[in-house]
Structure formats: structure tokens, C-alpha cells
Amino acid sequence: MMVCEYKPGLEGIPAAQSSISYVDGQKGILEYRGIRIEELAEKSTFLETAYLLIWGELPSKEELEAFEHEVRYHRRIKYRIRDMMKCFPESGHPMDALQASAAALGLFYSLRDLHNPAYIRDSVVRLIATIPTMVAAFQLMRKGNDPVRPRDDLDYSANFLYMLNEQEPDPLAARIFDICLILHVEHTMNASTFSARVTASTLTDPYAVVASAVGTLGGPLHGGANEEVIQMLENIGSVENVRPYIQDCLERKAKIMGFGHRVYKVKDPRATILQKLAEQLFEKFGHDKFYDIAQEMERVVEEKLASKGIYPNVDFYSGLVYRKMGIPTDLFTPIFAIARVAGWLAHWKEQLAENRIFRPTQIYNGRHEIPYTPIEQR
């Protein structure tokens, strides 16, 4: 019998072969289908990038227009889903609301025609189109308001910000938000993607695949770090407090939020792009001290921890961007999910193309041959 070494968290063990995205953590490179994210952030849109990831190639003009058109006209959610969401407690976390709503979609579209390209396409369109509507609807309903109907004349990101704030967004803010979605859409074999692929491998429906990935993304070790960055910046409160704060973290061996990465040992390329976006936002909508605090943090952490390969990660600047846009902190992770759903769907499709159900093994370390003790003798 082959003896396998046990690796907690399956660290370093390939769970799939994939051509969707690639990371070089030493050089700070991230590619989607071979294209560097810097180029996509500059020239592409979220929907075009989603198409690239899911279907493997950049779409032609006609293909992109057809995809955008389909997504635009599938944004509305069924009134029964809206009514179901109205029953959710307003104190509940929006990620739990999103997971339940994504799973509920499967009740309405229960066909599992996984070999039919039209079924795959419809499911992709429906999920990418309705997830933002569900996030915005929960946000409004928990404040006691009716959800806002999607606007067919607005692009994907502008429409989401409109549904969230009940007003048309500034074009720069909408474009920056769209770039944030591009930067969060995919990142190789992380926990939620693995979860999506395991669920996909049972040949269940794509709504269950996305719901299980949303549940996995919700944890603080995965999608939730950008919320904690904002908390930390607020606690620090001023540029003068940065150095003592970092010193204190290092003495207590506490992790500084928004820094360090399992794969990147240089600055996360997404953080570099997000920092520039944050600068543009602050320039247009007014400077605030949190950006100065963040800059000072980056300087001091680099001085103290660059030798360990600790630099800002994607979560360090994304929270700052969303905060400046007036987005509530507990929506940061649902927004991450709005983007990542396209990555999960690309992995769903790739998994189906060469499926083998996930069935790892375990190393049993329990007891054997234990007699059953009657309840009155326990």
C-alpha cells in the first residue's frame, strides 16, 4: 500500500489541473488565461474578463455584446426570492443571506442538463446577473426599504452601485468598482474555489456549487480580511499611532491585517493596482486620513518585515476603496463574491469537462473494537 504524507490543509498538494489562472508569488505575477491582470485592469471590463475565464478566450465584439445583453436582461430576481429574503433577520450577515439566496435559485431552475452548452450558458448568465441584485436587495431590505429594480440602461457595475445607493454612481467610481471586480474574480486553488470544485464534482447544479463556495468565502481566514483592515485603520486613528501600533503587533507576535500572503512573497500585484485606484478616488472625492495611515503602515511594515516577504495583500487597499465609495463594511465580502462567482463558474465548467468525484482519503487515528456500553452504564 502506498503511504502518503499527511499535509494539514492539503498545503502544496495539487487538487486539479487548471488553465484558468496562474500566480508567480516570487515575481508578483497574476494571469487570467495567460493575460496579466495589469493589462486586464487597464483595458477590460468585468464581464469581458468573466467571459475570458469561463470560455477560455477573449470574446469577439459580437460575442461580448451578446453576453452583456443576456446578463443585462437577467438581472431581476423572482418576487418569491425577494419575499423569502424579506423574512431574513436584518441582523444576519449579508454573506449568509447571499448563500441562502444563491441556493434558493436552484429551486427554480432544478434541471441538471450538465452536458448541454445552452444550460451551462443560461446558468452562468443567471448567476452573474442575479448575485449583485440579491446583495443589493438584502442591503436595502435590512434597512426597511424596498429593493431597487435593476436599470437596463446601466452597465454591470454602475447598475450594482445604483441598486445599492438608489442613485446613479459617478462614472469614475463605477469604473473603479468594475476594476475591483476584475481584480477579485479569480485566484487559483483557494479554499472557496476548492469547495466549488468538490461540489461540482458530484454533478449537482451550479446554484449548489456557488452556494457552497459563498459559504466557504465567508470565513475570516478567506474573504473577510478587508473588513478587519478597516477596523484596524479606525483603531489606529492617526499617522503618529502607526509605528507604535506595528511595534506592539510585532512584540505580541500578532498578525497585521492586510499584509502577508501564503503565495506572494513580494507586493501582491492586485494591491499595487488597488493603491492607484484608491489614489484616484481620494483625489476626486476628497482626501481622508485613512489613506495617509495606510501609506505610513506600508512604509513601516516594509521597513520591519520585508526581509520575511511580508508586503500588502489585496485586502489592504480594497477595503479603503470600498469605504471611500460609502459601501458598508459587511458588504465587502459579498462584493468579493459578486466578482468571484465568475471564477467559480469557470472552475465548475473545467471540472465538468474532466470530472472525477473528489474522494480523498484520511489517516484514521481513532480506536478499534470498542464494545457498545449500554446507556445506564455510561
Ligand X SMILES: CC(C)(COP(=O)(O)OP(=O)(O)OC[C@H]1O[C@@H](n2cnc3c(N)ncnc32)[C@H](O)[C@@H]1OP(=O)(O)O)[C@@H](O)C(=O)NCCC(=O)NCCS
Mind telling me the catalytic residues? 261, 315
Choosing from 257, 271, 338, 342, the residue that interacts with ligand X (CB under 6 A) is 257
Select 7 or 308, whichever has its Cβ closest to ligand X.
308
∠ CA 270-263-304 to the nearest 5 degrees? 80
* CA-CA-CA-CA torsion sign (258, 264, 267, 268): negative
Which CA distances in Å does 98 have to 23, 206, 217, 298, 335? 28, 15, 11, 33, 10
Q: Rounded distance, CA 264 to CA 30, Å?
A: 10
Which CA distances in Å does 216 have to 94, 191, 210? 14, 7, 10
Q: Rounded distance, CA 68 to CA 47, Å?
A: 7
Q: Rounded distance, CA 313 to CA 226, Å?
A: 10
Shortest Cβ contact with ligand X: which residue? 260
Query: Rounded to the nearest 10 degrees, how much is the dihedral formed by the CA atoms of 196, 200, 206, 212?
Result: -40
Query: Which has the closest alpha carbon to 136: 328, 341, 340, 345?
Result: 328
* CA-CA-CA-CA torsion sign (196, 200, 202, 206): positive
Select 98 or 257, whichever has its Cβ closest to ligand X.
257
CB of 313 to ligand X, least distance (A): 4
* Binding residues among 50-79 for ligand X as defined by CB under 6 A: none
Select 156 or 311, whichever has its Cβ closest to ligand X.
311
Asked if 271 interacts with ligand X (CB under 6 A), we say no
Asked if 261 interacts with ligand X (CB under 6 A), we say yes
Q: Rounded distance, CA 16 to CA 131, Å?
A: 26
Choosing from 120, 174, 182, 310, the residue that interacts with ligand X (CB under 6 A) is 310
- Give the interface segment with ligand X, choosing from 86-94, 167-175, 305-313, 368-376 (CB under 6 A): 305-313
Asked if 313 interacts with ligand X (CB under 6 A), we say yes
Asked if 223 interacts with ligand X (CB under 6 A), we say no
CB of 178 to ligand X, least distance (A): 21
- Give the interface segment with ligand X, choosing from 154-162, 258-266, 317-325, 327-335 (CB under 6 A): 258-266
Asked if 21 interacts with ligand X (CB under 6 A), we say no
Choosing from 262, 276, 284, 299, the residue that interacts with ligand X (CB under 6 A) is 262
Q: Rounded distance, CA 140 to CA 147, Å?
A: 6
Q: Rounded distance, CA 378 to CA 361, Å?
A: 32
Choosing from 106, 258, 319, 334, the residue that interacts with ligand X (CB under 6 A) is 258
Asked if 225 interacts with ligand X (CB under 6 A), we say yes
- Give the interface segment with ligand X, choosing from 36-44, 84-92, 303-311, 346-354 (CB under 6 A): 303-311
Asked if 267 interacts with ligand X (CB under 6 A), we say no
* Positions that interact with ligand X (CB under 6 A): 225, 255-262, 305, 308, 310, 313-315
